[in-house]
Amino acid sequence: MSDLIPPRLRNDCFAMPQGVTWVPVDAALDRLRAVLHPVTATEDVAVADGLGRVLAVPVTAQRSNPPLPNAAVDGYGFAHAATGDGVQRLPLAVGRSAAGQPFDGALPHGQALRILTGAVLPDGVDTVVLEEDCATDGQTVAFDGPVRAGANTRRAGEDVAAGAQALPTGRMLSPADLALLTALGVARVAVHRRLRVAVLSTGTELVSDPTITAVPHQIYDANRPMLLALLAGWGCEVVDLGHAPDDPAEIADRLDAGALGADAILTSGGASAGDEDHVARLLRDSGTLSSWRIAIKPGRPLALAMWQGVPVFGLPGNPVAALICTLVFARPALLALSGAGWRQPQGFTVPAAFAKRKKAGRREFLRARLNDAGAAEVFASEGSGRISGLSWATGLVELPDAACDVAQGNPVRFIPYAAFGLSFGG
Ligand code: AMP
Ligand code: MG
């Protein structure tokens, strides 16, 4: 008879093992931040092709916006010094100033000129009165004084002056940035080459072709389309390394391929310490695994390592944990690698539309969405295999490392997916 004694049952599979040092999320982020630097070369692109690209040098305004003083409304322009209090009657000059069709010459003092929105103010005009505030018979313009000097005009360079810095290094160009640079006469910009990120799924149970009928003990590879789409949305060039079974030689081959063609690698699955957790084992054997046991839920295990000099994010296999670890750890890291600089998502405080008690020691991210009253609801189940909750959510509620007892209406931090650069969801 064996005298084997079973361990005491634990009903929480996420209970923190005793005697292990768990790295707080912020400490893990700080370590990542300290070691990652931009890796990409620079190239020149047309501003119109610059969406989502990261500026490699600051951009200087080539001309002022607006380039010349101009009218902000349709109306009549004149020299303010020629007007005073009470009803003003000014003779109307012949001609007009319209956008793209400036008035030829200077306006004589004491006269008024028809002027349209965006038209350059000719010499002799520094103030414009709104058309609706005037009466005219074609010869004279009448309006009530006093009028404020400079009313309804835009000063040259009042937005940005020529020679001023328009955008700093590291800026990821938005549609509004393309408008700004174009207005400032900037045609081309130096940007970082797109970051190339490889994605590998691991797990013998996975079927990567959704047109193949999976047998019951198999599951479809849900992580790869999610991660590839996420990275493409972040402006990365994606390298699809496919899916490898739980076989160390095969995983090593794929990692080699990834290291050759990519600046960073995301793997999912096999990152823990189980019999078939070959990603973690390979990274440990290659001597570069920073085996960070990070105090995050969901997300254990997360293996952060270098493979042939290329950073690898060994994500957990569970799609919920894989996505959350990608958002929390991989995104700021990829931004740093891409030259955009380390950036944390901006969350905001909203009332909780839920109640929850948590123990100290681990930061928790809950799948959440805002209800019509602006309060955060959380997904009914916290199970990290519940992909439907990821899809239901429009963001995450972040609960602090410390113990907390959240009651309905208490303030909680909500981070919309959009703050992670995700333009979908909800
Ligand atoms: P692992 O991290 O390998 O222990 O996997 C944790 C759980 O996630 C297991 O139930 C896996 O079957 C599942 N899983 C792993 N990879 C994927 C994937 N690519 N798509 C969907 N589920 C996965
Ligand atoms: Mg596995």
Residues 232 and 249 in one domain: yes
In whole angstroms, how far apart are CA 337 and each of 69, 168, 170, 209, 375?
A: 43, 17, 11, 31, 35
Residues 137 and 219 in one domain: no
Residues 212 and 323 in one domain: yes
Final residue of a structural domain among 192, 209, 241: 192
Residues 32 and 135 in one domain: no
User: Ligand 1 centroid to 385 CA: how many Å?
Assistant: 8
pLDDT on residue 13:
36
> Is residue 113 within 8 Å of 125, Cβ to Cβ?
yes
Report the number of distinct structural domains present in the chain: 4
* 4 within a domain of the structure (yes/no): no
Residues 180 and 218 in one domain: no
Cβ 272 under 6 angstroms from ligand 1: yes
pLDDT on residue 12:
41
Q: How far apart are CA 206 and CA 208, in angstroms?
A: 6
Q: From the centroid of its chain, how far is CA 65? A: 27
Q: How far apart are CA 273 and CA 275, in angstroms?
A: 7
Closest CA to 399 of 361, 426, 372, 425: 361
Residues 275 and 374 in one domain: no
Report the DSSP pairing between strands 219-220 and 206-207. Answer: parallel
Residues 198 and 329 in one domain: yes
Residues 186 and 198 in one domain: no
Residues 313 and 272 in one domain: yes
Residues 380 and 411 in one domain: yes
pLDDT on residue 18:
52
Looking at the CA of 218, name the nearest ligand: 1
pLDDT on residue 79:
98
Q: Which stretch of DSSP H or E encloses residue 167?
A: strand 165-167
Output the domain CATH number for residue 124: 2.170.190.11
* 16 within a domain of the structure (yes/no): no
Residues 163 and 266 in one domain: no
Instruction: Collect the ranges in the chain with pLDDT lower than 70.
Output: 1, 7-20, 287, 290-292, 425-426
Structure tokens at 259: 């290291």
Looking at the CA of 267, name the nearest ligand: 1
Looking at the CA of 245, name the nearest ligand: 2
Backbone angles phi, psi at 312, to 5 degrees: -120, 130
Which residue range forms the structural domain that includes residue 129?
A: 70-154
Structure tokens at 390: 């990821």
Cβ 267 under 6 angstroms from ligand 1: no
Cβ 28 under 6 angstroms from ligand 1: no
Ligand 1 atom closest to residue 243's alpha carbon, by position in its atom list: 19
Residue to probe by mutation, ligand 1, list 300, 318, 326, 390, most atoms within 8 Å of CB: 318
Helix, strand, coil in percent for the chain, rounding step 5: 20, 30, 45
User: Ligand 1 centroid to 58 CA: how many Å?
Assistant: 43
Cβ 317 under 6 angstroms from ligand 1: yes
Q: How far apart are CA 308 and CA 166, in angstroms?
A: 39
pLDDT on residue 304:
85
> Is residue 78 within 8 Å of 113, Cβ to Cβ?
yes
pLDDT on residue 1:
60
Output the domain CATH number for residue 37: 3.40.980.10
pTM of this prediction?
Answer: 0.89
User: Ligand 1 centroid to 269 CA: how many Å?
Assistant: 5
User: Ligand 2 centroid to 246 CA: how many Å?
Assistant: 7
Output the domain CATH number for residue 172: 3.90.105
Residues 178 and 242 in one domain: no
Residue range 230-246, pLDDT digits in tens: 999 999 999 999 999 99
